[in-house]
Structure 1
Amino acid sequence: MLSNIQYWEQFSVFILYIFVLIEPISSQGLACYKCMTTNPNDDGCRDPFSSLINPVQINCQATAMGKNGTFPARFCVKISGRILSIDGDANVSYLNTVIYYRTCVVDNIMESTKLLETSGNFRLKGFQDWNGSIRLQGFMSLCAYDGCNKAQNLKLSLSIMIIGLLLTIYYY
């Protein structure tokens, strides 16, 4: 009978770890970096990237095609390249400028290619709320996890949970 009580105590501690450590992370939205630079002397958004200058935005919000308002992002995106042409009301001084842009998006902007990375020439419509589009020659990548390669919240929490559980079992 005494061994059953210890079993239930250990089981209840395990359930507590699950609710305390896993649940807050699973309810978080995607975290992405958001920045833009067109100044070659401003290294804020360029590679190598410094997360000290641009902290990750937890639960990043973005607009969705054809919808009003903002929604939790499903993807983080990084765009870098040279602006080759500008259509619409964009400032023509950006022509031939190298741009680095990191943000979050709701829709898969690379759905037509079925890839997560692409390089070459591509067009961005509605960039920075400009009417029209810009054409870039460069690189674009898309990912669906926090910070595209920075955050390890879930792994860290799982390791804390396992260590805590092992310590609890050891001391019982």
Structure 2
Amino acid sequence: MQLYVSINKWLISIVLQCSLVIKLASSQGISCFQCMTTDPNNDSCQDPFSSLLNPIQTNCQATSVGKNGTFPARFCVKIVGRVTSVDSDANASYLNAIIYYRSCLVDNIMDSTKALESSGNFRLKGFQSMTGSIRLQGYMGLCSIDGCNRAREFTSSLSVIIFVLFFMKFISAFEY
């Protein structure tokens, strides 16, 4: 009977801790890496990516189309490509350079394709605060898990966190 009561208390504790984690995660923006290529010859934003040089931005805030202010982000984005052309107002030194851009977004910029990844030609307006736009050929990926714009093979999951908490609680229950 004593073991049954201990297991029930333990399960209730796990459920409460998980609901607290889920509530905290749902009340803020996603966490994303944010960086842009500033110097194509010395770029800390490129792959292989270093989170030591580019720490993750927690509770990422971004603008939304047609709204004023910033809002909790729902997506992380990674754009990689070779600059194929620049407008007359843009910095011509980017021509033929490989650009990396990682950030967070409120709106799904891939909504028209119904996909989370796309390869092809893209245009970036206001890149590096320039007045014109650049066109590039490359890859764009959108994701909705914390830190997912690090690299393609990087993934994390709330279920993994819950499993680790569950396992730690399970082990500690049998230590005494």
TM-score over 0.5 for the pair: yes
Q: Give 1:13's aligned residue.
A: 13
Does the CA contact (< 8 Å) of 2:83 and 2:97 recur in 1?
yes
In the alignment, structure 1 segments of 5+ residues that lack a partner are none
**Larger of the two Rg values belongs to structure:** 1
TM-score by length of 1: 0.79
Residues 119-128 or 19-28, more deviating: 19-28
Does the CA contact (< 8 Å) of 1:40 and 1:98 recur in 2?
yes
What residue identity is the alignment partner of 2:143? C
1:4–1:39 Cα change, 3 Å: closer
Q: Give 2:66's aligned residue.
A: 66
Q: Deviations over 1:60-101 (max 9, x none)?
A: 111111111111111111111122223363333323332111
TM-score by length of 2: 0.78
Count of residue pairs the alignment pairs up = 172
- Do residues 119 (structure 1) and 123 (structure 2) align? no
Does the CA contact (< 8 Å) of 1:21 and 1:157 recur in 2?
no
Q: Give 1:93's aligned residue.
A: 93
Give % identity.
Answer: 55
In the alignment, structure 2 segments of 5+ residues that lack a partner are none
CA distance in 2, matches of 1:51, 1:133: 28
Q: Deviations over 1:27-79 (max 9, x none)?
A: 34211111111533313011111111111111111111111111111111111
Does the CA contact (< 8 Å) of 2:14 and 2:166 recur in 1?
no
Residues 111-120 or 128-137, more deviating: 128-137
Q: What secondary structure sits across from 1:123 in the alignment?
A: strand
